Amino acid sequence: MRDRRGWHRRCSPHQLTEVWPAHLGSFRPGDLLDVELGLYLLQDVTPTRTAADVWPLLGGYPYSEVFGDVRTDEQRLRILRARHYLWDMRRRHAWSKALADYLKVPQHLRGYDLDGPGSVPRRRETSRAAHRFEVFEELLSTPPRFATRSIPFAGKGEYTFRVQDRTQSVVFDEDLLTDTLPRAHALDAPPAGRGDPSTSPGKSSRKPPTRWTPSSRRCRRAHTTTGPGGSDG
């Protein structure tokens, strides 16, 4: 699985959290960074469009290609990466709501000056979370990172787990334990065969599966209920 939210931590959001206004309610520094990533994408691939025009890029609609704004594979790839991170904002209502909340954030905390949804965003330098734009560029120019987590290994003792509506248990004793940890998957390794389609070495010798029909089932029942002499035994 690719990570979608972990990049917020690379923007030093605590510098925003410690001075974050209480009146903004559920709109948090992470939401501000999401909106600004969308505005950064807009300025990168369609710099003449307004802030309200971000959601079609995230929703996959080809309006930008029809209007001639997006013409290269590199632009399409950057849009695709942004869609991974901003999937929740692909609808007009969701983007408009987030943008309206963004405009309520004090200007000194925002990375963009914006007169309204119908205006073109203007980038500005900030003293808090100042390297956010470097992170935005990395997100759009490199594949999303994998989402990883540490998994604890079982020790000696009894462990329970759910199987449908019942609780089962298993006991590990000393004989089952090992000091050798399993080898982790190389997530960044290229796929086997470099992603080329696999080929069969030859035709399979396996017979095709038998296709049963109502008539064949009737014949089978007649055969099993008829004795050697041709009549019911």
Rounded alpha-carbon distances, angstroms, from residue 225 to 214, 215, 216, 217, 222: 17, 16, 15, 13, 5
Rounded Cα–Cα distance for residues 6 and 11 (Å): 10
pLDDT of residue 60: 82
- Alpha helices, DSSP H, located in the chain: 14-17, 29-45, 54-59, 63-66, 73-85, 92-102, 132-141, 214-225
pTM of the model: 0.67
Q: Which of 106, 111, 105, 107 is nearest to 126 (CA)?
A: 111
- Percent of the chain past pLDDT 90, that is, above it, reads 49
- Quote the tokens at residue 225: 């209920």
Q: Which amino acid is at 92?
A: R
Q: Which of 33, 74, 38, 35 is nearest to 56 (CA)?
A: 38
Which residues lie across from 161 on neighbouring strands?
A: 168
Residue range 50-90, pLDDT digits in tens: 999 999 999 988 878 877 888 899 999 999 999 999 999 99
**Sorting pLDDT into bands at 50, 70 and 90, what band is 158?**
confident
pLDDT of residue 175: 75
Residue range 211-222, pLDDT digits in tens: 555 554 444 444
Rounded Cα–Cα distance for residues 99 and 117 (Å): 7
Mean model confidence pLDDT for the chain: 81
Rounded Cα–Cα distance for residues 47 and 202 (Å): 55
